Amino acid sequence: MTPLENQNPAHHREGLITRLLKQPPQNRARSIALLLAAICVIGLIDYVTGPHLLMIFFYIIPVALGVAWLDWRGGNIAAVICSLTHAMADWFSHAAPYTYLTIWNRVLVLAIYLFVARAVAELLALQRHLEQRVQMRTRELEQALDAQVELQSTVANVTRHERNAIGRELHDGLGQHLAATNIAAGMLAQNLANAAQPEAAAEARNISNMLVGAIGQTRQIARGLLLASIKPAELDAQIAELCRVSARKYNTDCSYTPAGDTPRLDDTQASHLFFIAQEALHNALKHANARHIAITLREESGHLALSITDDGRGLPPENANDAKPAGLGLRIMRHRAALIGARLAITSPAQGNTGTRIHCTMPSHAV
């Protein structure tokens, strides 16, 4: 018995007759021998009890088994044998004379057995047809799911290449242009200062300072775009750097506790875990006004768990545990978790400034 059968309640509800119908003996000769033995046992009981005990319906069992184990013709043969056995048991038990009524009753009993054989054959054929349809639909569903996973992987790869291309353009194109403009603004400020034009020189220096800020933002955006793929060995360092940059930029307490040893991940899993942490950190800083944020990555009973906890104002109840949260960031995190076979749990109180906890766990078979 497979684990799937152990978990299937319908399997345990099957009765003895159902199991006999679905699990025939190993070969045809054994099936015939068992059917004849069953008919003989029923006929013997019919002979011993005589007309005092109605045994007609007991003969239906070998008829149904004959259809299930052999085929419709085998069931018809079993029906004829059962009918003859029943007639012989009645004859030898009380030796009643045969009349037209007796013959009619025997023919009627045979017709009942043949009808049962036909009905069981059609029911089994219908069951096999339904099972084939279920198997076919299951294969189609598996193929559709495989195609969806392949499409998602293709889209993710294309997106990663596009992000890398945009990141390189920002870093090598716009970043360099802004740097050259900043140098020109600095030279202009120096020339204006030498020409005894302090006000114009101050404005030029102000422009230079603004360009320095623009260069920093451009490099930060380019770095974020170029981090489209994270190597497993780089995951701890990248999350730690994310915390350090966020703590300095937003003047918050952001800490990261790594897993220790390098997690057993591939590039896709490591990348999605990083971006889940990045999105959760962004939500805590931008929307929850958190002052203390703790990120941990550790092993928990064969699972890899990523937790992001903050002390912000928390999420509304409809966003905390709803399967389809209103926020785009939460939907993205759930989608990323689903792509790597992980489960994302978001817990937050209904009210009060007591924070939010985002917990992402990956089962051991996915790691």
Asked whether residue 277 carries a pLDDT value surpassing 70, the answer given is: yes
Which pLDDT score is estimated for 207? Answer: 87
Which pLDDT score is estimated for 133? Answer: 93
More confident residue, 42 or 99: 42
- Find all residues with CB under 8 Å of 19, minimum gap 6, and list them: none
Domain boundaries, the chain: 3-145, 229-366
Pick 229-366's CATH classification: 3.30.565.10, 1.10.260.40, 3.30.450.20, 1.10.10.10.
3.30.565.10
With contact defined as beta carbons under 8 Å apart, do 51 and 101 qualify? no
Asked whether residue 163 carries a pLDDT value surpassing 90, the answer given is: no
Q: How confident is the model at residue 260 (pLDDT cuts 50, 70, 90)?
A: low
Which pLDDT score is estimated for 37? Answer: 92
pLDDT tens by residue, 92-135: 877 666 677 778 888 888 898 899 899 988 888 898 899 899 99
Query: pTM to 2 decimals?
Result: 0.50
Annotate 148-176 with DSSP letters as a single string: HHHHHHHHHHHHHHHHHHHHHIIIIIIHH
